[in-house]
Structure 1
Amino acid sequence: MYFSRVQLQPEVQRSSQLSQVLTSNSYGLHQLLWDLFPAEEKRSFLFREEIAKEQLKNQRRTKGESLFYIVSRHDPQTETPIFRVESKVYAPVISQGQQFAFKLRANPIVAKKKPGKKNSVRHDVVMNAQRRLLEELASCLGILDVQRQKKSVLRHRILTAWKDGEKRFCSERLREDIRTNERFESLADAHMEPVQLMDWALRAASDFALESWLKDKGVRNGFELVHDEGMNGSKRLQFQAEGYRWHAMPKKGRDAGFSSVDFDGVLQVNNSELFQAMLFNGIGPAKAFGCGLMMVRRM
């Protein structure tokens, strides 16, 4: 295996028009990466896109251009007019019990079966968690016909019914959702208006769903998230999930696209073979669009 760092050639960066065309079309830029590999390798490598000036702080001339980290089975070609390629052999030695700081950009989805349907349907983990919370609140408030309503419309109906009916259980329910997430529990007893309380509860639900998703991936890939003992004796996961983004793909349909989330934290290896295979093969779908590559650093 090989680990590579790929940047636009200085000549390309200096050509403002060419650089703008490339960087404004991220999908097209990703396709150009495929040309670094043999035909049989296309789409089978993992990559992660970063901003050069954030990764190479000691290099004065770097700006907001893209920089790519790639894990591949073949050594990418280095003679290319578009990219500057630095590559090295990637053969990490992994042992059980090791701890690593990690970064992962992933496309977290959950498969759900619909009544009467044979095949499962994929759902965005964040949207699924938020939708579930809203539908449960709507049910408690007696709001009907919620299945086909947009999330924004449903949220508005809930807040209206909550205000009109002065339903205390809404506040109590949302505060409990916040309280059960260790990264949000300090907000559970803060004074908040219904809109604020709703927004924080939705964030807490999304965060917990992402944590559960990654834990499940860890079971399958030989690792677990690490707890850090706090000053008051409490143990909190060294983990965070942020940077949720929706990437539209209009060429594939009006509503086509995929989501990505940036995870980082500390993990411990439980099965070295499964973990090493995951480093080479990635986690989750949308690998052709820059998701799934876990980058690790020894603690």
Structure 2
Amino acid sequence: MYFSRVQLQPDVQRSSQLSHVLTTNSYGLHQLLWDLFPTEEKRTFLFREEIAKEQLKNQRCVKGESLFYLVSRHKPLNETPIFLVESKKYAPVINKGQQLTFKLRANPIVSRKTPDKKHSVRHDVVMDAQRRLLRELAYCLGFSDVEHLKKSVLRHHVFNAWRESENRSCSEILREVIRANERFESLLEANLTSAQLVDWALKAVSDSALESWLREKGARNGFELVHDESMNGRKRFKFQAEGYRWHAMPKKGRDAGFSSVDFDGELLVVDPELFQAMLFNGIGPAKAFGCGLMMVRRA
């Protein structure tokens, strides 16, 4: 395996329009990176996009310039008309019980069965968690048949009905969601407005769902999240999930696209063989669009 750092050629960087087109077109960018492996018929690499200026502190970089990290089975070309490439062998030594810090950009999804469809349907983990909370609130407020409503519309109806009725059961549902997530529970010490209570509950339930998703992936891929020992015996993990983004792909359809979330924290290796396979093969879907590559270093 090889680990590579890929930058745009200086002439491409200086052409702001070309640089913008390349870095805002996820599918086209993947196709260009694939040109680094001219003998491959199927994709055998993972990649992650970063901002060059944040990664190369001692180099002058064009504002907004992208930089890419690749893990690949074969060595990529050293240079193309668009890219400059630096590569090295990638053979990490992984031991059971080893603690590592990690960074992961992933496309978290969950599959759920629906009565009118033969196969399970994939859902964005964040949107799924938020919709489930809003549906619970809607039923608490006496709504029925809310499955067809868009999340934004459902939220609007729920918030207005709750604010007018001052339903205490709904208030307690929201507070319990925040209380259940130790990264958010201290917010309950403040005097939150109705809007703030709803916003923080949606963020807390999303964060909890992302943690559960990553822990489930860890169980399948030989690692566990590490508890924060500074929390006096509490169960909080050294983990955070942020940078949720929706990447629209209009060429594939009006509503086509995928989401991505940036995870980072500390993990414990429990199965070196599974863990190393994951480093090479990635986690989750949308690998063709820059998701799934976990980057690790010693804690």
Name the TM-score class by shorter chain: over 0.9
Secondary structure, counterpart of 2:146 in structure 1: coil
Task: Give the structure 2 partner of residue 187 of structure 1.
Answer: 187
Given the superposition, is the C-alpha separation of residues 61 and 106 from structure 1 closer, same or farther in structure 2, using an over 3 Å criterion?
Answer: closer
Following superposition, the deviation at residue 170 of structure 1 comes to: 1.4
Task: Give the structure 1 partner of residue 199 of structure 2.
Answer: 199
Per-residue CA deviations over 1:211-242 (Å, capped at 9, x if unaligned) read: 00000000000000000112544342000000
Task: Give the structure 1 partner of residue 160 of structure 2.
Answer: 160
Secondary structure, counterpart of 2:29 in structure 1: helix
Task: Give the structure 1 partner of residue 266 of structure 2.
Answer: 266
Task: Give the structure 2 partner of residue 53 of structure 1.
Answer: 53
Following the alignment from structure 1 to structure 2, what is the Cα–Cα distance between the partners of residues 143 and 55?
50
Following superposition, the deviation at residue 168 of structure 1 comes to: 1.2
Paired residues in the alignment total: 299
Tell me, yes or no, if the aligned pair for 1:56 and 1:62 is still in contact at 8 Å. no
Following superposition, the deviation at residue 10 of structure 1 comes to: 1.3
Given the superposition, is the C-alpha separation of residues 285 and 137 from structure 1 closer, same or farther in structure 2, using an over 3 Å criterion?
Answer: same
Identity of aligned residues (%): 78
Task: Give the structure 2 partner of residue 219 of structure 1.
Answer: 219
Per-residue CA deviations over 1:242-292 (Å, capped at 9, x if unaligned) read: 000000000010000000000000000000000000000000000000000
Task: Give the structure 1 partner of residue 143 of structure 2.
Answer: 143
Which is worse superposed, 107-116 or 38-47? 38-47
Following superposition, the deviation at residue 122 of structure 1 comes to: 0.2
Following superposition, the deviation at residue 159 of structure 1 comes to: 1.6
Following superposition, the deviation at residue 23 of structure 1 comes to: 3.0
Which is worse superposed, 250-259 or 165-174? 165-174
Task: Give the structure 2 partner of residue 208 of structure 1.
Answer: 208
Tell me, yes or no, if the aligned pair for 2:14 and 2:62 is still in contact at 8 Å. no
Given the superposition, is the C-alpha separation of residues 158 and 18 from structure 1 closer, same or farther in structure 2, using an over 3 Å criterion?
Answer: closer
Instruction: Output aligned runs, 1:17-56, within 5 Å.
Output: 17-40=17-40, 42-56=42-56
Following the alignment from structure 1 to structure 2, what is the Cα–Cα distance between the partners of residues 110 and 17?
37
Q: Report the AA paired with residue 153 of structure 1.
A: V
Following the alignment from structure 1 to structure 2, what is the Cα–Cα distance between the partners of residues 137 and 205?
13
Q: Report the AA paired with residue 170 of structure 1.
A: C
Following superposition, the deviation at residue 162 of structure 1 comes to: 1.2
Following superposition, the deviation at residue 117 of structure 1 comes to: 2.6
Given the superposition, is the C-alpha separation of residues 24 and 115 from structure 1 closer, same or farther in structure 2, using an over 3 Å criterion?
Answer: closer
Following superposition, the deviation at residue 205 of structure 1 comes to: 0.2
Q: Report the AA paired with residue 219 of structure 1.
A: A
Tell me, yes or no, if the aligned pair for 2:126 and 2:209 is still in contact at 8 Å. yes
Tell me, yes or no, if the aligned pair for 2:100 and 2:296 is still in contact at 8 Å. yes
Following superposition, the deviation at residue 160 of structure 1 comes to: 1.8
Following superposition, the deviation at residue 164 of structure 1 comes to: 2.1
Is 2:110 the partner of 1:110? yes
Following superposition, the deviation at residue 62 of structure 1 comes to: 4.5
Secondary structure, counterpart of 2:40 in structure 1: helix
Task: Give the structure 2 partner of residue 2 of structure 1.
Answer: 2
Task: Give the structure 1 partner of residue 234 of structure 2.
Answer: 234
> RMSD over aligned Cα, in angstroms?
1.4
Following the alignment from structure 1 to structure 2, what is the Cα–Cα distance between the partners of residues 117 and 277?
34
Task: Give the structure 2 partner of residue 244 of structure 1.
Answer: 244
Mind listing any 5+ residue stretches in structure 2 that lack a counterpart?
none
Structure 1-normalised TM-score?
A: 0.96
Tell me, yes or no, if the aligned pair for 1:50 and 1:66 is still in contact at 8 Å. yes
Which is worse superposed, 15-24 or 238-247? 15-24
Given the superposition, is the C-alpha separation of residues 288 and 149 from structure 1 closer, same or farther in structure 2, using an over 3 Å criterion?
Answer: same
Given the superposition, is the C-alpha separation of residues 142 and 276 from structure 1 closer, same or farther in structure 2, using an over 3 Å criterion?
Answer: same
Secondary structure, counterpart of 2:228 in structure 1: strand
Secondary structure, counterpart of 1:40 in structure 2: coil
Given the superposition, is the C-alpha separation of residues 21 and 260 from structure 1 closer, same or farther in structure 2, using an over 3 Å criterion?
Answer: closer
Which is worse superposed, 213-222 or 39-48? 39-48
Following superposition, the deviation at residue 80 of structure 1 comes to: 1.3
Per-residue CA deviations over 1:32-73 (Å, capped at 9, x if unaligned) read: 100000342542210000010011011124432110000000
Following superposition, the deviation at residue 102 of structure 1 comes to: 0.1
Secondary structure, counterpart of 2:158 in structure 1: helix
Q: Report the AA paired with residue 282 of structure 2.
A: G
Structure 2-normalised TM-score?
A: 0.96
Following the alignment from structure 2 to structure 1, what is the Cα–Cα distance between the partners of residues 20 and 136?
46
